[in-house]
Chains A and B, each alone.
Chain A
Amino acid sequence: MTKQAGHDPQEVEWIRQAQQGSQEAFGFLVERFQRRIFGLVYRLIGRRDEVEDLAQETFVKAYRAIGSYTFASPFGNWLSRVAINHCYDFLRRERAKPERWEPLGLDGESTTPWVELAPSHEIGPEKQAVLRDLVGKLLARAPADDRVVLVLKEMEGQSVEEIAELLGVKTATVKVRLHRARKRMLEDFRRLQKGE
């Protein structure tokens, strides 16, 4: 069994050509994976204005590092890893800047009395949208480590093992990070409910 087993032969051909410097072949790979990377970057960063640039930079980095791709994992996973690392760097740089996140308050629609909300599966689409916006804002305020694992698990639907592979850490580490991230997020959520 070859290392490329399970890969699309056309994709393998493009990767091989890109590894030899073909930008045209890399362009086909960009076409194939742009939506996936765009979505991942958007979810990790949560800001529409930054997604285009970050996704482009991810592909530029991937092209420069494509020689190190060994077909050991699907190319899409390898690309996702490049995107996650790039977003990590971005989030850390953003954190280093003076506080830029808008303060969370119970303003506008967020004044919904959360304590009176029914279980999530029983609430209507309108309140579901409020809930989505609120969780989105909480996620934007979360530390980079928390955000990455939460996005991969809760929104991208990756398993703990897949996240471990993507982040290059042990599954036990992912479990600990996930537990800690959920706990912090919930504390933030409850604090917001109480209007703190």
Chain B
Amino acid sequence: MRCEQARDILIENPAAAPVREHLGQCPACQSFAKDLDLLQGGFQALAVAPIPEPSIGFSTRVLRRLVESPVPNPADFFETIGRRVVCAASLVALIFLMALALPTSGPFRGPTAAEFTLARPEAGSISNPVFDDGQIASQDLNPLPAVQNGATSEP
């Protein structure tokens, strides 16, 4: 049996029979077993050592603490949460209203689409402008080749 194995067994059960033979021929493990025994003795001494008693009036002080820090009421919790939700919703509504109230032009806004259309009425009336050479502008604007029946139309 190897020392490591013997020591693992000793830690589990110092009186284990399988390690006795090893202990008889291994001074290092004998020393280990002796220390383990001393440690166990220390634990036993601690276990029987007197424990301090709660001081007089301990339970009264516990009850006073209960009064001083009462249990949080679930109703209060929901009230607090509800108040926060209302505040957050009001803030969002306020931001939305402020956005609507912004001037439609000026340094914070560019010209609206309506103004742009009014300023250039011809632009709004032409959906598919045809240039002088007869090509439809929208065809030129589409860079991708048209796909028909799964085949790419090559020139």
Do A and B assemble together? yes
Flag if A131 contacts B11 (CB, 8 Å): no
| Contact call A189/B38, Cβ cutoff below 8 A | yes
User: On chain B, which size bracket covers the interface?
Assistant: 35 or more
B interface majority secondary structure: helix
Are B71 and A38 in contact (CB-based, < 8 A)? Answer: no
Which bucket holds chain A's interface residue count?
A: 35 or more
Give the CA-CA distance A35 to B56 in the complex, in Å: 12
A110 interface contact, C-beta 8 A: no
**Chain A at the B interface: mostly helix, strand, loop or mixed?**
helix
Given contacts A38-B52, A43-B51, contact A120 B41 (CB under 8 A): yes
Instruction: Enumerate B55-100 residues with CB–CB distance to A below 8 Å.
Output: 55, 58-63, 65-67, 69, 71
Could you list 21 A-B pairs, sorted by A, with CB under 8 Å? A27-B60, A27-B63, A30-B59, A30-B62, A52-B54, A60-B66, A119-B37, A120-B37, A120-B38, A128-B41, A135-B42, A154-B46, A156-B47, A179-B8, A179-B12, A182-B36, A185-B39, A186-B11, A186-B35, A190-B32, A193-B35
Residue contact B58 to A23, C-beta cutoff 8 Å = no
CA distance A193 to B32 in the complex (A): 12
Complex CA gap A190/B35 in Å reads 7
